[in-house]
Amino acid sequence: MSLKDKNVVVTGGSRGLGLGLVEALVAHGARVTVVARDTDALDSVRNRLGVATISADVTDETAAHRVLGEVRPDILALNAGTKPPMGRLDQMTWADFTAPWEHDVKAGLHWLQAALNLPLKPGSRVLVVSSGAAVDGSPMSGGYGGAKRMLWFMARYANRVSQQRELGIVFQTILPRQMVLGTGIGDTAAGAYARAMGIKPEAFVARFGTPMPPRMFGENVVAVLDDPIHAEGFAFGLTGAAGVTMIEGFAD
């Protein structure tokens, strides 16, 4: 579908991969509202790109319902994520291990529930940004891989609820399959793995092949939304080399 004049909400869209997505959406004519906590970062993206902004904690259940009720988006992109504490399994505290669950999964639950219970209008799309760690694991980031896999499951569950209640809302999962420098989570993870291997972060990230900077990530997500070839897909892997690859269809 064309994104021109579509109303889009992006959580975590003030920096990193989320900002790359916002840039791509604006370039394709969408009307974007960015939700994040950092007011300075929100001011910067609003002044540069002309988007609307809302300062909110994405883990706040009332914020999810308030934002979706006010904006009524055609497309909701759930991108916000916390930097996972990095370390070996034998050295992690429970608080460190569960940090992605307390933030990413909690936020995902509140926003998915808000989309279903408001509900968003028929034909709306909800993109849940997961991670390649949901496929391959991430041994240096505690519960991160499991949290991202849970988000994948939750998007699938949300589709079932939408079908059962005949809401007409479509939920899809986006999985970046490589680490990206210049983003908070990517820098943290690449730095930890590089130190463990005795190499520089740039050398570690080079193992993924062609880079996928945030704006390219954004254009790949736009392709999922805009290209009819992806209409039947549920989960998509994104890389710099291959672009968009369907991992799972709705019938899988």
Query: What are 196-240's pLDDT values in tens digits?
Result: 889 998 888 888 899 999 999 999 999 999 999 898 899 999 999
Domain-located, residue 249: no
Domain-located, residue 83: yes
What's this model's pTM, rounded to 2 decimal places?
A: 0.95
Residue 206 confidence (pLDDT): 87
Q: How confident is the model at residue 192 (pLDDT cuts 50, 70, 90)?
A: confident
Q: Across residues 129-138, what is the average pLDDT? A: 96
216: tokens are 């390219």
Bridge partners of 249, per DSSP, are: 233
Coil, strand or helix: which one is 135?
A: helix
Report pLDDT digits (tens) over 34-65.
999 999 999 999 999 999 999 999 999 999 99
Report how many domains make up the chain: 1
Residue 189 confidence (pLDDT): 86
Domain-located, residue 138: yes
Domain-located, residue 42: yes
Residue of 143, 149, 156, 207 lying closest to 175 (CA atoms): 149
Query: What is the DSSP-derived secondary structure letter of residue 207?
Result: G
Domain-located, residue 2: no
Residue 193 confidence (pLDDT): 85
- Full domain range(s) for residue 159: 7-243
Q: Compare 244 and 181 and report the one with higher pLDDT.
A: 244
Q: How confident is the model at residue 187 (pLDDT cuts 50, 70, 90)?
A: confident
Domain-located, residue 217: yes
Domain-located, residue 15: yes
Residue 6 confidence (pLDDT): 97
Q: Across residues 6-16, what is the average pLDDT? A: 97
Measured distance CA(222)–CA(33) in Å, rounded: 16
The edge-to-edge listing of strands for the beta sheet with 233-239 is: 52-55, 31-36, 7-11, 75-78, 125-129, 170-176, 233-239, 243-249
Domain-located, residue 250: no
Report pLDDT digits (tens) over 66-124.
999 999 999 999 999 999 999 999 999 999 999 999 999 999 999 999 999 999 999 99
Residue 114 confidence (pLDDT): 98
CATH at residue 122: 3.40.50.720
Residue 60 confidence (pLDDT): 97
Report pLDDT digits (tens) over 145-172.
999 999 999 999 999 999 999 999 999 9
Q: Across residues 11-27, what is the average pLDDT? A: 97
Residue 36 confidence (pLDDT): 98
